[in-house]
């Protein structure tokens, strides 16, 4: 879906529900199989307090979401038109005290849980 169409869809959704939902139905059929369930452990990402910015070929959605078991995480979702299709990037600003073991209990006793996250 071109970013211009996606922007209209997300603006309508924001006006109707007060939030923007990025889910697997929205991402279905993209060149790369994006499975939110596999990567984030949840089938959808609901962005509250959302702000939508659109420029030519680029859509940016900023707000807060529950992510990896942490509530109100500042997130930025970017959709960009590229020659091979639309690219999707999600950036999350996890709390400073967050560590992998909080979201992935199997990692709580391993060295990866002690790695600093910047």
pLDDT in tens, 56-65: 889 999 999 9
- Which region among 66-70, 71-75, 111-115 has the lowest average model confidence (pLDDT)? 111-115
Nearest CA-CA partner of 6 in 42, 47, 45, 57: 57
Mean pLDDT confidence for 73-90: 88
Q: What are phi and psi of 6, to 5 degrees?
A: -65, -40
Q: Find the length of the chain.
A: 118
Mean pLDDT confidence for 32-54: 80
How many angstroms separate the Cα of 20 from the Cα of each of 47, 48, 49, 78, 79? 5, 7, 9, 13, 14
Residue 72 pLDDT grade (very low, low, confident, very high; cuts 50, 70, 90): very high
């Amino acid at each position: 879906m071109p970013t211009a169409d996606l922007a209209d869809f997300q603006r309508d959704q924001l006006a109707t529900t007060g939030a923007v939902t990025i889910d697997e139905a929205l991402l279905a059929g993209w060149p790369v199989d994006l499975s939110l369930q596999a990567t984030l452990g949840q089938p959808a990402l609901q962005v509250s307090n959302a702000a939508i910015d659109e420029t030519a070929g680029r859509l940016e959605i900023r707000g807060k979401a529950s992510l990896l078991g942490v509530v109100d995480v500042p997130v930025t979702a970017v959709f960009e038109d590229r020659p091979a299709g639309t690219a999707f990037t999600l950036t999350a600003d996890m709390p400073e005290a967050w560590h992998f073991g909080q979201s992935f209990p199997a990692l709580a006793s391993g060295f990866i849980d002690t790695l600093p996250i910047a």
